[in-house]
Amino acid sequence: MKQTLIRLAAPALLAGVLPAVAAAQASPPPPMEQRPVRFPTFTESELPNGLRILVVENHALPVANLNLYVRSGSSSDPEDKLGVAAMTAGLLDKGTTTRTAVQIADTVEGVGGSIVADVDQDNLTASVNVLSDQLPLAFELLSDVVLRPTFPAEELETVRGQQLAALRAALGSPATLASRTFERQAFGTAHPYGRRSVPATVSAITRDDVAAFHRAHFVPRNAMLVVSGDVTPAQAREMAGRFFGQWSGGAAPADAYPAPPARERAEIYLVHRPGSVQSSLFVGHPGLTPDNPDYYAVQVMNMVLGLSGDSRLEMVLRGQHGWTYGARSRFSRLLGGGAFSASTDVRVAVTDSALSELMVQLRRIRAEPVPQEELDRAKSYLVASFPGTVETPAQAASSLAATRLLGLPAEHLTQYPQRVAAVTAADVRRVAGQYLQPDHAVLVVVGDATQVLGRLRPIAPVTVFDVEGRPVDPATLQPAGGG
């Protein structure tokens, strides 16, 4: 039998090699030289009826993507009809005056394409994706579902059932409970971002409600058609005129965003979830308007704080203490003003420690200058990752559409790398002091109140709610399984 001998390196040799290896691992290689970003060719135009058209041209692959954005999302739900925008999106491809739901699905699938509609807080989007030789069919289908939906009663009940099931599942998630509680407390229920649908509101929506939402919000001056891929601007405009040129309607609905409630101090909102073995933490406050010129400096500051796995929140909460699998922070961008938030999930036993440390890190970045090496690393990451966000025509079109729908010029996106690279340490210190407000923040904890309430009280005043959002008297709390 043949034997294989393994010789171990001499201890003296290892003594010289191992420190060098450790040093190499501790010091990451310097960032590569930045390469210029070649943003795809794009054009903008407008039909006589007010429909804006954005075309991102790229002929590398024979595919085409159509996205019709209606600038009315869930924040446009009437206060007594929360969920109607999502219901409208779910029903767009479930029947028109010319096709049934089955015929729509068979038509688009028959050419290897797809059709989908979705909604977020600010926009409702209907999309059709096809091979580029099917572009006329894509325009025909998109115009059909957007302009001529019939909202069949039987389809409405199917979609309602699906949305109720998804909503109940989401409300069983501690992270979802935390974010919804945060929005309600940070923005207030008078603000559209402070209201969210619940099963009772979705159950009450009627076909007439959906039809009324469609009539009010699906008007050309409230929409943007985005075409990307293997298509020319001339093709896109000709087909847009052919299929959407007769679309009519009044002015775009006016936006109404009242000021969020002023907050004199940080406060904890504890959502009692009996038996939870983890606590979900969500800390923040209202943030920036979309047109704030400090956006780029805030992005760099947040990269240092908590935007990635190399940021401070992750390195401290996970790396140093081992309290969590991940911690992140973000500044959302919304028409009515976004929010700053930092979030993580931790073991119940360290709920108070993690929340306290999170607050320490928010105060630290306000109080201390960011070291140049940390600043350079943050800017390098943001600049180097930007090309990946606009790599495909669909990605570039989505990013451009988001920028334009916020009312910002295209240069706000196309000059992103240069503007990020120009941010200084002084800029970061200034915006941290101006836009991070830990002493006026909403602190949400979703967990077992019987385990954490006493340890949270030294951090900030605490108000307790149940998972339905109803106030709870702390004196009535019973441990899970208790009598």
Query: Looking at residue 110, which CATH number applies to its domain?
Result: 3.30.830.10
Residues 213 and 301 in one domain: no
**Inter-residue contact 371 to 316 (CB < 8 Å):** no
Strand pairing class (278-286; 442-447) = antiparallel
Number of domains the chain is built from: 2
For residue 140, tell me if it sits in a domain. yes
Residues 365 and 239 in one domain: no
Quote the tokens at residue 432.
């941290």
What confidence category does residue 254 fall into, taking pLDDT thresholds of 50, 70 and 90? confident
For residue 481, tell me if it sits in a domain. no
Quote the tokens at residue 316.
């401290």
Residues 339 and 294 in one domain: yes
Residues 394 and 342 in one domain: yes
- Cα dihedral: 472, 477, 482, 483 (round 10): -80
Residues 94 and 232 in one domain: yes
Give me the mean pLDDT over the 174-181 stretch: 95
Residues 319 and 434 in one domain: yes
Residues 315 and 236 in one domain: no
Q: Is residue 387 pLDDT above 70, yes or no?
A: yes
What confidence category does residue 7 fall into, taking pLDDT thresholds of 50, 70 and 90? very low
Q: Which of 244, 278, 295 represents a domain boundary (last residue)?
A: 244
Tell me: the pLDDT tens digits for 45-78?
999 999 999 999 999 999 999 999 999 999 999 9
**Inter-residue contact 417 to 383 (CB < 8 Å):** yes
277: left (phi over 0), alpha (psi -120 to 50) or beta: alpha
Residues 467 and 357 in one domain: yes
For residue 338, tell me if it sits in a domain. yes
Q: Is residue 232 pLDDT above 70, yes or no?
A: yes
Domain that holds residue 183: 41-244
Secondary structure of 3-18 as H, E, C letters: CCCCCCCCHHHHHHHH
Residues 276 and 186 in one domain: no
Residues 194 and 311 in one domain: no
Residues 214 and 315 in one domain: no
For residue 167, tell me if it sits in a domain. yes
Residues 353 and 446 in one domain: yes
For residue 233, tell me if it sits in a domain. yes
Tell me: the pLDDT tens digits for 355-375?
999 999 999 999 999 999 999
What confidence category does residue 222 fall into, taking pLDDT thresholds of 50, 70 and 90? very high
For residue 257, tell me if it sits in a domain. no
For residue 333, tell me if it sits in a domain. yes
